[in-house]
Structure 1
């Protein structure tokens, strides 16, 4: 292609940038700048072998069956639940990497599964060894021809039969087969963005859904996955519209990069708005703090000395009150002690005056507790001491003293009482003086504190200090907050601009090349729909998103999903066949040409319609060199339409394999 008309030059011109910049952006995202025609994708079944041990009521025992497929239409004929659908599932297990809906019980019967196919002109042999319904080992061979592959389950390098992949479990086999089929059929992953923040990639299973058609009850037009936009992607890929795959990838890259930029802009705007609000708040608070500080400062500094003096005097008086309180408490304790002594001496005098025993014990100890065990001496014992003359400590009898010394004891007791009375009076006098001093100091402190509270500066100083702190705090806040940047016009990056222009150029190429194809596709689908028995069908309109509008009875228009199950099945077949026919007519057909259809008659298709459908499928397959595998439980239908070589039929009531 000339440089002046190359894809990068057209994108560069639209984006007003250089071709080198375009190439750099596309290389960064792994996007192609050259649209190359797809390689042939023909896929043909040749031989299926299945061996194992069947359990249950129907034909139990070992089995080893081989089914060979011809070009054109092949009908698998058997009663219900006799292995028709499972043949399609076994083929799917090999080609897709995993079956779609193969029953667990059936899987457990199998020990060996072989499938020989031709993929894009290359004979391949799938060899699976199974245990308990799972792959124990798997091998995919490539050989010079199908006949040689059929004779071996191992690689034979001298005969040109070599392994392409090996797997020891189901997950490994699935992953490797899907990668192998994508490579051999020259298919690219289908990538689309999800909410502009992530991508979703669809591989070989999504493509395979356009070969193994879903049942009529499924409302998806193409494929077997209900994912927005996927039918349209499959539609355009199998028509090989120029730049279709590249367009999808460019759009996805553009969406992700644009979303990333918008997120950055939004974050920057949020941050800038937050900074502006914080600065406005700080400036407002600073102004208020400065106003308060100026008002308080205007009152002058005069009262400060008076305030300090009052505060110092209050502190001194408070300390004095504390000292007087402590002295009063000490004197109170001394007075109480003196009173206790006086009371005891009075009691002793009374006792010695009346009791000889008391006189006998006068000069003895008067313990309050037993000197041995420290337990308090009970009042009962003291009472016994006075009444029955038993020692309160040891409880032994106490002999009364002689009366000759009685006067001396009584005299000494009186002297003690006089002394304790004098001591009590002295303690009481000292306590009264301390009480007077404490009351005086307390009154002085109360007066000083009142003067301090009344002083004007007592209310102004905390407010002045707080105002100064507020000014300093808000000045500091403003100094650390960044200044708000001036508003600027947001411009998309050169990368987004290049990707957007690339998508526009590719979309124009796809639209201009596809308009004629889609018109022919609509006409072909309508014609096939008539041939498949939808008598009321007048026209269809299929768009690039894979949405099919159906027009019936002149005015009735509705989407594909609103049709009956039988009509959906026939329209789905019509779309696939139309893709093949229109693509072949315009040399852009890239559908593999293999179609698997399970029991079309079960989808509300009447006998006459089923007959017409099968006839037309046979005719279309012959006209376009297709391979179509159909299952049916109606042997009459198959034999009426197809030659014997195209019918694989089970004996009445027996399994197909």
Structure 2
């Protein structure tokens, strides 16, 4: 199809992350369809994608700017060469601070471990050490639990004894206070009926020692020294409180140590299970994988060092070629783009956009529309305005390339539904008239599909029109 359309392949490149490289390829004829087919649904000036590198390449189909093909080829080749240089640097960078000799020594050591069973011995040693640690921690947990139980019992007994001592102290204080108060009483009447005692009865108490109230013998002062007992009991209470506080502190200390030891025990149990489940075979497998990884790095580095084809020098050459081609393209495109911008501005006025003052078409396939004293871009226009700008751009580019004699467009355009948006019938008719004139001035074949008034067909010969009336199909 490229030969049939008299088009050249578009050189470009594509990154392939899965292979960690960039490849060079050429777009086929299907990539050019954006330069042939235009409808009102696209938001791009040319093609289907806004601001892409491919859109800029499609612009060359219309303009045929000299050196453009060279620029695309040099730029694509430069990207591929840069990718190869980066790939080489990444592979060499995997060595880090190690030399090739260091990697070879590591590989030899790993193979030795596999051969003499060092991995098996190390795995068994790790497992035995973990089991011994587990047994030690289990005994420690049991001892701490027993110690905490004994301390709890001591704390309970100590608290009970302290309560009893405080009760004895209280009794001593009450007895001491009562004896001091009641011993000083000297009753002269009955405490019940307030009958005054006779003088004989009071004398009798003094002589015989019998109580004048109840006639019972008055007891001598108690032989118990409650004051001394009180002081002794206070000292015992203070000593017991100090001892109880120390036991409680020790119990809290043991409890915290028990929590930590249990956590260590759980971690050790997991380690034992992990080591038991892994076995020695997995240790050998790990060593084999490590050996294979080192071998792969050594092989890749050896190949890269031995197959240096001068990509870094090629990058410098291609960068210079890209810069020079870009300079030539910019110089060649300036006059063509300026002429195309003038044609677009005039055609937009004919298509109903009367307020357009100036149009600037850029090499990156973007366009500036100066209208009504302001400046607008293609994407900020209404849908109907975008359609008119696209069609005007197509026609103007073909006219400009025809006038300059450098155009590469094969002369095939398909315009779908130009009246789909809010264009007035008069504007549609004027646009179709412009397309009809284009077909006379430029060697181009047009296919236009639309719904509109029959008057719009006056610009075309009847045998070139395929019509469908209401209720019927076109094909």
TM-score (normalizing by structure 1): 0.37
TM-align CA RMSD: 2.8
State the distance in 2 between where 1:562 and 1:611 align: 25
State the distance in 1 between where 2:410 and 2:90 align: 47
Matches within 5 A, 1:131-150: none
State the distance in 1 between where 2:356 and 2:96 align: 61
State the distance in 1 between where 2:37 and 2:317 align: 39
In 2, are the aligned partners of 1:599 and 1:633 still within 8 Å (CA)?
yes
In the alignment, which residue of structure 1 is the partner of 2:83? 259
Of 334, 343, 354 in structure 2, the residue corresponding to residue 524 of structure 1 is 343
Runs of at least 4 residues off by over 6 Å: none
Q: Does 1:192 align with 2:192?
A: no
State the distance in 2 between where 1:592 and 1:547 align: 22
In the alignment, which residue of structure 1 is the partner of 2:407? 589
**CA-CA distance at 1:201 after TM superposition:** 4.1
State the distance in 1 between where 2:70 and 2:435 align: 33
State the distance in 2 between where 1:592 and 1:256 align: 30
Q: Does 1:633 align with 2:451?
A: yes
In the alignment, which residue of structure 2 is the partner of 1:249? 73
Q: Does 1:203 align with 2:28?
A: yes
Matches within 5 A, 1:120-135: none
Of 223, 226, 237 in structure 1, the residue corresponding to residue 47 of structure 2 is 223
**CA-CA distance at 1:275 after TM superposition:** 5.5
**CA-CA distance at 1:499 after TM superposition:** 1.5
In 1, are the aligned partners of 2:342 and 2:359 still within 8 Å (CA)?
yes
State the distance in 1 between where 2:363 and 2:51 align: 15
State the distance in 2 between where 1:580 and 1:251 align: 27
SS class of match (2:3): helix
Aligned residues: 265
State the distance in 2 between where 1:649 and 1:237 align: 32
**CA-CA distance at 1:635 after TM superposition:** 3.6
SS class of match (1:595): strand
In the alignment, which residue of structure 2 is the partner of 1:375? none
In the alignment, which residue of structure 2 is the partner of 1:142? none
Q: Deviations over 1:240-294 (max 9, x none)?
A: 2112122202111101101221332244345243559x99xx9xxxxxxxxxxxx
In the alignment, which residue of structure 1 is the partner of 2:467? 649
Q: Does 1:212 align with 2:8?
A: no
State the distance in 2 between where 1:643 and 1:182 align: 31
Q: Deviations over 1:441-496 (max 9, x none)?
A: xxxxxxxxxxxxxxxxxxxxxxxxxxxxxxxxxxxxxxxxx9xxxxxxxx972212
State the distance in 2 between where 1:551 and 1:646 align: 37
State the distance in 1 between where 2:24 and 2:349 align: 40
Of 375, 393, 398 in structure 2, the residue corresponding to residue 575 of structure 1 is 393
Q: Deviations over 1:484-535 (max 9, x none)?
A: xxxxxxx972212221222222222222221111111111111122222222
State the distance in 2 between where 1:568 and 1:190 align: 27
In the alignment, which residue of structure 2 is the partner of 1:619? 437
Q: 1:274 to 1:535 in 2, by over 3 A?
A: farther
Q: Deviations over 1:114-155 (max 9, x none)?
A: xxxxxxxxxxxxxxxxxxxxxxxxxxxxxxxxxxxxxxxxxx
In 2, are the aligned partners of 1:524 and 1:578 still within 8 Å (CA)?
yes
Q: 1:643 to 1:257 in 2, by over 3 A?
A: same
State the distance in 2 between where 1:200 and 1:533 align: 43
**CA-CA distance at 1:586 after TM superposition:** 0.8
**CA-CA distance at 1:651 after TM superposition:** 4.1
Segments of 5+ residues of structure 2 without an aligned counterpart are 16-20, 107-297, 299-309
State the distance in 2 between where 1:625 and 1:200 align: 31
Matches within 5 A, 1:378-389: none
SS class of match (2:47): coil
SS class of match (2:391): helix
Of 31, 38, 58 in structure 2, the residue corresponding to residue 234 of structure 1 is 58
In 1, are the aligned partners of 2:10 and 2:27 still within 8 Å (CA)?
yes
SS class of match (1:538): strand
SS class of match (2:2): helix
In the alignment, which residue of structure 1 is the partner of 2:362? 543
SS class of match (1:600): coil
Q: 1:653 to 1:246 in 2, by over 3 A?
A: same
SS class of match (2:35): coil
**CA-CA distance at 1:225 after TM superposition:** 5.3
SS class of match (2:423): coil
SS class of match (2:97): helix
Matches within 5 A, 1:448-527: 493-527=312-346
In the alignment, which residue of structure 1 is the partner of 2:145? none
Matches within 5 A, 1:374-453: none
**CA-CA distance at 1:583 after TM superposition:** 0.7
State the distance in 1 between where 2:49 and 2:374 align: 31
Q: Does 1:555 align with 2:374?
A: yes
In 2, are the aligned partners of 1:209 and 1:225 still within 8 Å (CA)?
no
In 2, are the aligned partners of 1:206 and 1:223 still within 8 Å (CA)?
no
Q: Deviations over 1:309-357 (max 9, x none)?
A: xxxxxxxxxxxxxxxxxxxxxxxxxxxxxxxxxxxxxxxxxxxxxxxxx
Structure that is richer in helix per residue: 2
State the distance in 1 between where 2:423 and 2:316 align: 52
State the distance in 1 between where 2:456 and 2:323 align: 50
TM-score (normalizing by structure 2): 0.51
Q: 1:514 to 1:639 in 2, by over 3 A?
A: closer
**CA-CA distance at 1:606 after TM superposition:** 1.7
